[in-house]
Amino acid sequence: MDTAVLSTSVINETRYQYHHDVTDETAQSNSPQITVPSTFVMGGSTLGKTALGEDSHEFQNYTTITHGTQTIKFGVRVRGDVLNSYTPANFNGTHTFGSFAAYELTQQDLAEGVPFSQIQSMGGGPTLFSINAGNPATTSTMVDIGAFVQDDWRVRPNLTISVGLRLEGQSNIHDRHDLAPRASFAWAPKTSNGNPKFVVRGGFGMFYIRFPNQDELYTEEYNGINQQSYLIRSPDFFSTTALPLSALPLSESAARFIQAADLRTPYLMQSALSVERQLARRTTLSVNWTDTRGVHQFVTSDINAPLPNGIQPLGNIGDILEYQSDGLLKQMQVITRDQYSSGFAVIVVRRVYLEHSA
């Protein structure tokens, strides 16, 4: 961090941060996992030998200029994020049973040498077998930038108006030029004795949400080429030891992740109004109203889900989970806050009187 006083009215701040994080997890067994929902999970772990490394860089440069009753601030923030993933998740395979009775029947009959087809006819055998294969190593990189300018103008001793504009963009999404205007005010009406007893604050702003690099990693990892994911319904086999891929009927693919061609950055439009009133020398009461509207919110949709007739629109190639910008958010909150200062401690009571989200 470096702060430079360029003149009596200009200050420049520069910050840089580098963060390196590595997470490693290793399974104690490579045997297939056995899952009975709501009962138990046993066998090997689907983690395998997993490693996730992240290198993130952040650079900020802000300049503040004081000119009369105005304070102007502008600057830029640049962030870079690199994810290196080695995730052989579920490379050992997972057997899923519909009930404990089906699992118990399967174990008993296999021990007695009963043919597997007969076990299935009596209600035994797993209902699903899933397994992943391919290259577990994946890398995803994202760079995002945000530049802004803001002007705080003290119009009167009891009135301040702020306006600003922010420009944002990121590398791993087609929508890269997002403008976010913001405006606010703070007003303290004078009383008959000249001392303000309450303050009114309000504002409106747009706030963009970045497409996470982790989701970009999923599209690289599960694109159907780097890794393949298979789902076999009512498999005609069951084994507690590692199964070679060549011995499995891998005909039905499971999920893939892709980005929609029109994927864009979601944003929130937020309006706020608050009134803070001094009730006594050491007690204040504030009422805060916030209304938030979000458009183009990220959602994930299976665009190859089976139709009512059981046919998949894009063919029998498994589920295709597409990141889309079709979500909406509506939220309104009314919050009160009581604060009392005794000189030794500050007591705050916060109440949410209304909160509606959709």
Query: How buried is 281 (Cβ within 10 angstroms: 0-12 exposed, 13-18 middle, 19+ buried)?
Result: exposed
Which structure tokens are listed for 297?
Answer: 């919110």
293 burial via Cβ count (<10 Å: 0-12, 13-18, 19+): middle
Mean pLDDT split into 10-residue runs, the chain, 358 residues = 95 98 92 91 90 96 95 97 93 92 92 90 91 90 95 93 95 82 92 75 94 88 80 86 74 75 91 88 85 92 87 82 90 85 59 60
Q: Phi/psi of residue 111, each to 5°?
A: -65, -25
3-state percent helix, strand, coil for the chain, nearest multiple of 5: 10, 60, 35
Paired sense of beta strands 256-259 and 227-233, if any:
unpaired
Q: What is the pLDDT of residue 244?
A: 76
Distance, CA of 129 to CA of 120 (rounded, Å): 14
Return the sign of the alpha-carbon dihedral for residues 103, 109, 112, 117: negative
Q: Tokens standing for 173? A: 């999404």
**What is the number of residues in the chain?**
358
Task: Output the pTM of the full model.
Answer: 0.74
Torsions phi, psi for 112 (to 5 deg): -95, 0
Say what the pLDDT of residue 189 is.
Answer: 86
Cβ–Cβ under 8 Å, residues 272 and 289: yes
Q: How far is CA 132 from CA 214, 239, 241, in A?
A: 19, 16, 16
b/e per residue 216-225 (b: at least 16 CB within 10 A): bbbbbbbebe
- The token pair that represents 89 in the structure block: 């998740």
Displacement of CA 158 from its chain's centroid (Å): 40
Q: Residue 63 corresponds to which amino acid?
A: T
CA 258 – CA 87 distance, rounded (Å):
18
Q: Which helix (H) or strand (E) holds 81?
A: strand 70-86
> What confidence score (pLDDT) does residue 229 get?
78
